[in-house]
Structure 1
Amino acid sequence: MAWRGILGFDYGIVQGPLGPDISGPDLVAAVANAGALGLLRAPDWESPDYLRELIRKTRTLTDKPFGVGLVLAFPHEENLKVILEEKVAVLQVYWGECSRELVTEVHSAGVKIVPQVGSVEAAKKAIEAGVDGIIVQGREAGGHVIGQESLIALVPRVVDLVGDIDIPVIAAGGIVDARGYVAALALGAQGICLGTRFVATKESNAHPTYKRKLLELDETEYTDVFGRARWPGAPHRVLVTPFFNDWRSLPPHENETNQPVIGHSKINGLEKEIRRFAGTVPNKSTTGDLESMAMYAGQGAGLIKEILPAAQVVRSLVEGAQLLIQNIK
């Protein structure tokens, strides 16, 4: 049963583009096959050949449409060119201006564009640019957080701003289960975007230690401790691990550039050193002091009790929300 579909997908569920390469082809294809919108994450540097390979590998695992997330704060012109040449269904953009020129370029390639915003002003600019949908991120979200308002305050204002225009509003931030889905619908959203819940799936490329910590730990904190040099001015929400608890008051002048190497990882095809306080989450290939690395998570992390197949996550969200709404009636 198609229910609350958005952007041409069966269901109003979006799997956020999890970086640096946590949402790889296996996860995105599993989400797509379940009828939801799965998003790859483009590398944070120009890597058009590798990105094309990711897209094409995903297509070997699903015949359903899917998308790619692109962080505009990093070099991206060559990556964007590949995304449009490959004609993925949706381009999700974040942390940068979603201009009318960009929207026109994307639409000319037959691709839909959906920015993630953290304020009413950014939503207004996106509407004026002619976007196909808007992901509204609340401060409750895990990973890098662009806004300061809570989801419960921000979503209704953006919904009112959109009015009768055919632009679905998608709520993101702290949502992990059917109760959060229904709450977002009550705020006026037409869909939801989940990140942390999809990190904790069998198909995600997150390291098993990262997944285990999502089950063990309940507390998260909004901070700027990780990745200050690489991505300045980009606060984030992380799990309160013992390491973070010890370093949560890191002096403002400190960053990862002069810190020791604590591990190594293969990220988007490249071998990388991971320094202490780098903003790199551990993926399956990561070695070293895993528990001292960043572990992004939204405030709903405490509700995640098991690692599930991505399709089961989608199914439980849809069926659970249907049941809740029927009981409310």
Structure 2
Amino acid sequence: MGWRGILGFEYGIVQAPLGPDISGPELVAAVANAGGLGLLRAPDWEAPDHVRRLIRNTRTLTDKPFGIGVVLAFPHKENIKAILDEKVAVLQVSWGECPKDLVLEAQQAGVKIVPQVGSFEEARKAADAGVDAIIVQGREAGGHVIGQDGLISLLPRVVDLVGGRIPVIAAGGIVDERGCVAALALGAQGVCLGTRFLATRESYAHPTYKLKLVEHDKTEYTDVFGRARWPGAPQRVLKTPFFMDWRTLPSHENEANQPVIGRSTIHCMEKEIRRFAGTVPNVTTTGDIESMAMYAGEGVGLIKEILPAGEVVKRLVEGTQLLIQQQFHGEKL
């Protein structure tokens, strides 16, 4: 298969860092044990001791390498220091500049650094900084979406830009072997999936959230959620009844003056959840779950069941190999 051995992993299947704490040790270890690259999600505040615990807890569940994602739009310097001290395999960064000094610091610590980008210009800067790989996120992706370009147009441009010097990983709307094959055809060497791994047994998402991922098949690109906490960070969400009732929320409104609709423990911190907050419900969340943000990519309509994460990796790998052999081997246009 075209992505065997990418970044030193058995398969080029990457489980996206699902925030704020949905991709915890259980999910990441399950993906790692199946041969993929699992990514923890660091807190959006400085909590280096907690980051160390997350990493060490994951190591009790797997002896395989894994990584952790950091959102650079939030305080992160102490968290990154802890990550590099712990020498995880991969530091994934997003929503911010990935400067050359950070790249060098990570690489000198023996940690591979992989930024996620949403534009050609971002990809150029990342490549110039000497990163180890680039995740290209299309507008089809779930959660917070940094770019405006679709994956099918952006991905091959980035592949041409790096000219085989840096592995390119495709993200956005990919949930099955057909998406994997499409990404390979566009020049990617790996795929990064968020929504498909969100809908797994080991994901830390609330059961109601997982159920909605199976029930709903439509998403929308919006900025209704989290305007006060994270301005300028639009997101793709499920078209739940709550969202459809509020999707035209006036631009001057945000979560700051809204009622509290629930509570949650996130990275060991007790948090209130206000209406229109961008916090997705995890297994500890109580309150009006169905009125909370539920991020999902455009491929959600292809998700029909909640599976073990290892089974997701297995089906992706075997399905992709079979599809290539059956549909494309030896065929001529």
Classify the TM-score, shorter chain: over 0.9
CA distance in 2, matches of 1:16, 1:164: 23
Residue type of the partner of 2:108? S
The alignment partner of 2:229 has SS state of coil
Structure 1 contact 2–10 (Cα < 8 Å) conserved: no
In the TM superposition, 1:177-256 aligns within 5 A as 177-256=176-255
Alignment-derived partner of residue 53 in structure 1 = 53
SS of residue paired to 1:69: strand
* Paired residues of 1:3 and 1:318 also in contact (CA < 8 A): no
Partners of 1:107 and 1:31 in 2: CA distance: 24
- SS of 1:7's partner is helix
Q: CA deviation at 1:108?
A: 1.2
> Any gaps of 5 or more consecutive residues in structure 1?
none
* Partner residue, 2:109: 109
Whether 1:89 aligns to 2:89 is yes
C-alpha distance in 1 between matches for 2:49 and 2:272: 22
- Mapped to 1, the partners of 2:151 and 2:173 lie a distance apart of 9
- In 2, the alpha carbon distance for the partners of 1:104 and 1:118 equals 22
The whole-number CA distance in structure 1 between the counterparts of 2:171 and 2:90 is 17
Contact between 2:3 and 2:189, CA under 8 Å: does it hold in 1?
A: no
- Give per-residue Cα distances to partners, 1:296-315, cap 9 Å, x unaligned: 00000000000000000000
Q: CA deviation at 1:3?
A: 5.6
- Aligned-partner Cα distance in 1 for 2:247–2:164: 44
Q: Distance in 2 between matches of 1:164 and 1:266?
A: 43
Letter in 1 for 2:272: E
For residues 204-249 of structure 1, the C-alpha deviation after alignment (integer angstroms, 9 at most, x for no partner) is: 0000000000000000000000000000000000000000000000
Which residue in the other structure is 2:22 paired with?
22
Deviation string 1:173-221 (CA, Å, 9 cap, x unpaired) is 0000000000000000000000000000000000000000000000000
Q: CA deviation at 1:164?
A: 3.3
Moved >2 Å (runs of 4+): 1-5
Superposed counterparts of 1:156-175, under 5 Å: 156-165=156-165, 167-175=166-174
Contact kept, 8 Å, 1:2 with 1:11, in 2: the verdict is no
SS in 2 for 1:229: coil
1:134 aligned partner? 134
| 2:315 is the counterpart of 1:316 | yes
Query: What is the aligned partner in structure 1 of residue 265 from structure 2?
Result: 266
Aligned residues: 328
Map 1:283-302 onto structure 2 (within 5 A).
283-302=282-301
- For residues 242-296 of structure 1, give each alpha carbon's deviation from its aligned partner in whole angstroms, at most 9, with x where no partner exists: 0000000000000000000000000000000000000000000000000000000
Equivalent-residue separation in structure 2 for 1:123 and 1:20 (angstroms): 25
Contact 1:171/1:189 (<8 A) preserved: yes
Contact 2:2 2:184 (C-alpha < 8 Å) held by counterparts: no
Q: Which residue of 2 aligns with 1:43?
A: 43
**1: distance between equivalents of 2:215 and 2:281?**
17
Deviations 1:106-141 (A, max 9, x none): 111110000000011000000000000000000000
Q: Structure 2 unaligned runs (5+)?
A: none
Look up the match of 1:79.
79
SS in 2 for 1:262: strand
Aligned counterparts of 2:144 and 2:3: Cα–Cα separation in 1: 30
Over the aligned positions, Cα root-mean-square deviation in angstroms equals 0.9
Matches of 1:251 and 1:259 in 2, distance apart? 13
Query: Which residue identity is paired with 2:303?
Result: I
Under a length normalisation based on structure 1, what TM-score does the superposition of the two structures give? 0.99
Q: In 2 relative to 1, CA 170–115 (structure 1 residues): closer, same or farther, beyond 3 Å? A: same
The alpha-carbon deviation at position 2 of structure 1 amounts to 9.7
Give CA-to-partner distance per residue, 1:120-173, whole Å, 9 cap, x none: 1000000000000000000000000000000000000000001031x1100000
SS in 1 for 2:7: coil
The AA in structure 2 aligned to 1:111 is V
> What is the distance in 2 between the residues matched to 1:31 and 1:274?
30
Judged with a 3 Å threshold, the aligned counterparts in structure 2 of structure 1 residues 176 and 232 are, in CA distance, closer, same or farther, namely same
Task: Give the SS at the match of 1:93.
Answer: strand
* Aligned amino acid, residue 279 of structure 1: G
Which residue identity lines up with residue 89 of structure 1 in the other structure? Answer: A
SS at the partner of 1:244?
Answer: helix
> CA separation in 2, counterparts of 1:108 and 1:44?
25
Letter in 2 for 1:159: V
Cα shift readout 1:20-48 (whole Å, capped 9, x = no counterpart): 00000000000000000000000000011
Distance in 1, matches of 2:164 and 2:17, equals: 28
Q: Amino acid of the residue matched to residue 189 of structure 2?
A: Q
SS of the residue corresponding to residue 276 of structure 2 reads: coil
